[in-house]
Amino acid sequence: MLTKAVDSYIAMRRVCGFAFQSEGTCLRGFAAFSDAKGDYHVRSDIAVEWASQARSTRQRARRLGIVIRFARYAHAEDAGHEVPAPVLGSENSPRPVPYIFSREDIQRLRQSASQSGYRTLRRVTYSTLFGLLACTGLRLSEAIHLRYSDITADGLVVRRTKFRKSRLVVLHTTARAALEQYLTQRRPYAPLDDHVFISLRRKPLLVTCAERAFRTAARKIGLRSERDRPRPTIHALRHTFAVRALEACPDDRDRITQHMLALSTYLGHGHVGHTYWYLEATPQLMRDISQRCEHLVTGGHP
């Protein structure tokens, strides 16, 4: 039965380090659908029929893409399996252009957060959190899961995050000083909890609470969403860090490659291609790329 082949494939992917939760659920659903039709091999028409039951265009393309990848695996063992063509479109929608903050925007955001809400630890918590996100490029979930033991002499240890990897994030001396200043006020507030960032209830921050605090601070300084324009979000602090790091990239080709790999590792990207995407983020980066290309075409060195 096709279910057995699917279970073998799921086990293989998980041994390779992939969580493979939603994908596994999808494949088991496809296997049950195919088995119910009495066909124990992957058939293109059945795969398309099953994937087409999803509500949105993107969901249909994603479901078929999952089956296609499984079919390639199964076909290597048994040529009776067909590999469907991606007839339902692309799984990947274009990534939106990120909102990029200026240095002044970030300073004003921190100032706004330090003056919002009750005159308690809340103010310094969000001011410090926004500053840490801006100067390290951490994901919000990574920052709110930090514990005291993750602050080391070498930097912040970010443990088993989005891609089940741990990494070390180096801290600038000014960032370390700001974090230590915050911890001096935070430790007595909830001495039994070792999370770095906590709420007024003396519990770890929630992502939704941090996002709400960011929206409040952004609104107060006039950063608002506009039609057909990038939207200022707390995750855009990470985007801003990545773009500024690329703007500081050296000109030499070999050094550019090293810089991109280092930045990809620092940000915890699963693939360096996710870092190259930032090259399209700002006019300055696009202008730099066009100038390098023009120089190369006219006989100069890249």
Tell which residue, 45, 44, 53, 1, has the closest CA to residue 26: 53
- Could you say which of 166, 186, 220 is where a domain stops? 220
- Residues 175, 131 contacting (CB under 8 angstroms): yes
Q: Residues 215, 273: one domain? A: no
Q: Quick one: CA torsion of 142, 147, 150, 155, rounded to 10 degrees?
A: 70
- Residues 5, 39 contacting (CB under 8 angstroms): no
- Residues 54, 60 contacting (CB under 8 angstroms): yes
Q: Residues 119, 214: one domain? A: yes
- Residues 194, 202 contacting (CB under 8 angstroms): no
Residue 183 pLDDT > 90:
yes
How many domains are contained in the chain? 3
User: Is 255 one of the annotated active-site residues of the chain?
Assistant: no
Partners of 198 in the beta sheet?
204
* Catalytic choice (123, 165, 235, 244): 235
Q: Residues 175, 268: one domain? A: no
Neighbouring C-beta atoms of residue 240, cutoff 10 Å: 23
User: Is 278 one of the annotated active-site residues of the chain?
Assistant: yes
* Averaged pLDDT of the chain: 85
Does the predicted TM-score (pTM) go above 0.85?
A: no
**Residue 19 in domain:** yes
* Catalytic choice (37, 160, 162, 224): 162
State both tokens at 232.
Answer: 């200022």
**Residue 21 in domain:** yes
Residue 16 main-chain phi, psi, to 5 deg = -80, 0
User: Is 187 one of the annotated active-site residues of the chain?
Assistant: no
Of 159-173, 211-225, 288-302, the least confident: 288-302
Tell which residue, 20, 3, 280, 56, has the closest CA to residue 164: 20
Neighbouring C-beta atoms of residue 189, cutoff 10 Å: 13
Using DSSP's 3-state secondary structure scheme, residue 204 falls into: strand
Q: Residues 66, 11: one domain? A: yes
**Residue 150 in domain:** yes
Domain extent at residue 201:
103-220
* Catalytic choice (60, 139, 145, 186): 139
- Could you say which of 204, 220, 236 is where a domain stops? 220
Instruction: Provide the percentage of residues in the chain whose pLDDT is more than 90.
Output: 52
**Residue 85 in domain:** no
Q: Residues 166, 271: one domain? A: no
Place of tokens 């057909």: 228
Of 28-37, 92-101, 281-290, the least confident: 281-290
User: Is 215 one of the annotated active-site residues of the chain?
Assistant: no
